[in-house]
Amino acid sequence: MEVHQAKAFLAVAEELHFGRAATRLRVAQPPLSRLIKQVEKSLGAELFERSTRHVALTPAGKALVEPATRLVATSEEARQAVRDAVSGETGRVRLGFAGASINHKVGELARQVKAKRPGLMLDLHSSQFSHLGLERLLDDSLDLVIGRWDFIPAELNSCILALEEVMVVLPKNHRLAHQPRVSMASLSEESWVTLPGGAVSALSNRLNSLAMSAGFVPRVVQTAPDSWTLVVLVGAEIGCAVSLDSVRDNVSSDGVVFLPLAEEQRPLEVRLVWRASDRNPALRSVIQIARTMFAEARHTGEQNAQS
């Protein structure tokens, strides 16, 4: 039995009148009668007892009501599933992120997605540093990545989620720890701890550019796997580090101090990045939610970029 046949059968079964059923289905009565006869022929049983004044379900007709109802319901569920997928109400999006400074943004976004698109699945993949996240985005292992980059390939699109202040992290007993601000030139003889990523790491690039402007090349003695470890290493007096105000606000900083730089500088941009060619409606839904949530930071960043 096909879906349109099940709908016709159920209309007659509920109305017990071919004329009213035809009106309900917006068809003429003769074609409806022929359709019911075709169904009876294909099933090998009469579904209705008919007379000039009376229509009633046969035992076979009564037995068919429930499976016909399920068939129509399943058809409607399938149609709705397709509509939801096309509109971005359902689907799956893989989001990569890393770092204590980004965790709260991911949490905010995940909560908003759950509230606004409860049928959408947001898969969270942590420990995706910016350089690794970019690689996984380009090879289609992830759909979205939150991170910081000085350069984004042309095949990717992005929007700004937040602007962060670059700060210097010093051991608590450092000679400059009690200064309100610290200049990079005053740290030219220090050892430095950095995060992974090398030349594609926005923080490593910022350290190098600040040091070069101050007339020295930073002596990197250790690479920390994450911001938590970086803070611990600085507290253990392994070296100084360049970090962010968001790390200061989200990571336990016993044994260290975060100081603003004396040099004037632009903030680092936290961006949400995705493949420009990706037409997944669920992805578009998440991007739109993120754009709305972080609109103020995005507009500020765009104004700074234009100035």
Locate the domains of the chain by residue range: 3-87, 91-163+269-306, 166-260
pLDDT at residue 106 in the model:
87
**The pLDDT of residue 198 is above 70:** no
**The pLDDT of residue 303 is above 60:** no
pTM of the model: 0.69
Asked whether the domain spanning 166-260 has the same topology as the one spanning 91-163+269-306, the reply is yes
pLDDT at residue 200 in the model:
64
Indicate the CATH number for domain 91-163+269-306.
3.40.190.10
**Distance between CA 100 and CA 107 in Å, rounded?**
11
**The pLDDT of residue 307 is above 50:** no
pLDDT at residue 101 in the model:
64
Indicate the CATH number for domain 166-260.
3.40.190.10
pLDDT at residue 79 in the model:
80
Q: How long is the chain?
A: 307
Q: Is pLDDT larger for residue 294 or for residue 214?
A: 214
Which residues contact residue 278 at a Cβ distance below 8 angstroms, ignoring those fewer than 6 apart?
143
pLDDT at residue 129 in the model:
72
Q: Is the dihedral of CA 125, 126, 130, 135 positive or negative?
A: negative
Q: Which CATH number fits domain 3-87: 3.40.640.10, 1.10.10.10, 2.40.40.20, 3.30.365.10?
A: 1.10.10.10
Q: Is the dihedral of CA 288, 290, 293, 294 positive or negative?
A: negative
- Dihedrals φ, ψ of 210, to 5°? -65, -40
